[in-house]
Amino acid sequence: MRRRPAGPRGASVTGGRAAEECHGIATGAADGEWLTRGKDGRLTLYAPTGGGLLRWTETTVGGPEWSGPRFVPVAGLTHLTVVQGANTYVHFLGRRERPGPDGGRNVDIVHAVQYQTGLAFSDWRSLGSPHRDPEKAGPPVAPSATVAPDGTVHVFLRGEHGGLALRREAPNGTWRAWENLGGGGIGARPAAIALTDGRIEVCAAAETGVLVWRQPAPGGDFTGPRGFSLRPVPGTVAALETGPGRATFFWTDAESGGAAAWRAGGWPVALGGTPAGRPYAVLRTSLDGYDCVVLACRDRDGAAVLGMGGTENEDAGFWWYALAESCQGAPALALDGRGRVVMALIGTDGRPRVARQEEGDGLALTRWDTLGS
């Protein structure tokens, strides 16, 4: 299997009609799945910007041209998380901060949905906050979220006393109240994953190690947290389903500084690399007939890095390649409508760039295309 990706050979794509605002510059990368594939096979890229977010959409399945950016206003948005359900609906969870009475501030979590590629968003709805006093909520972080196979959205946030708080939809579409799932010492946003057996699992780095919450059955209450004496760097945990109803968690190990893969019941496997303190983009796909995991991250020098190895076969080795393209935050990965791996990043200039899997064996990337403004 030819593993070495091609180096970036940057080019520019004009990308269709300009946004309704005066610029198309992102303020960084969103959290979660900010590169999504719709039911029609087209990819959409989302990024936060001043006063809201920006959206670019492929004009045809597989590209290479994109329309956008289109500006979606969200006043007071400070953090943005994007997740997609099995029904292809894209959900947006944001942390919103607005001036309050007496010089204070009102902080809440907001939610909106895009039901179809390129169409308008739903209205933004406030989900409130698990924190009675925003001043005691700790450093602001983006919410974590995942969508169960039945389409219900689950939102996770560091709650009171550093534990885990949950707000989720009921089957009838209404939202249940915030729930306290316990735990403590969570240092950053947790990683949540919806498994194909209908259950949800959550993994968080904490002061005491790793905490894991699980649903014994779809739609049920969460058990845990169960603690493990492991040392991930807070803010680096990502999750991927690597077997039926089985999650593998990826993170940066606090002792070695390299990537690691872990499944409950075993020990972490070192994957090497020198990633920075951000979550990984994770993707499972077939390469040359092999079931593979593809990871993307930002290294300590700010460059985008691509890694790959066999699914649940980490001991056989993992291969990393620096792509010589600097980025903000974590990159994103997705499969386009032709089944090709696509990697996206937000450049240091605030402009999105994308590269695709080339034809042929292994995983080599085409040149980087800069989406227009």
The CATH number that applies at residue 312 is 2.120.10.10
Residue 5 located in a structural domain: no
**Greatest extent of the chain over all pairs of C-alpha atoms, in Å:** 63
pLDDT higher than threshold 60 for residue 198: yes
Specify whether the CB–CB gap between 197 and 203 falls below 8 A: no
Residue 344 located in a structural domain: yes
Residue 4 located in a structural domain: no
CA 111 to chain centre: 16
Q: How far apart are CA 289 and CA 360, in angstroms?
A: 12
Domain span holding position 269 = 11-371
Residue 6 located in a structural domain: no
Specify whether the CB–CB gap between 154 and 145 falls below 8 A: yes
With vertex at residue 87, the alpha carbon angle to CA 373 and CA 176, rounded to the nearest 5 degrees, is 100
Residue 225 located in a structural domain: yes
Number of domains in the chain: 1
Q: What's the first-to-final CA gap in the chain, in angstroms?
A: 37
Specify whether the CB–CB gap between 215 and 196 falls below 8 A: no
Render pLDDT for 140-195 as a digit per residue (tens, 0 to 9).
Answer: 888 999 999 999 999 999 987 889 999 999 888 899 999 999 999 997 889 999 99
Residue 232 located in a structural domain: yes
The pTM is what?
A: 0.92
Residue 1 located in a structural domain: no
Residue 201 located in a structural domain: yes
Render pLDDT for 282-326 as a digit per residue (tens, 0 to 9).
Answer: 999 999 999 999 999 999 999 999 999 999 999 999 999 999 899
Specify whether the CB–CB gap between 46 and 54 falls below 8 A: yes
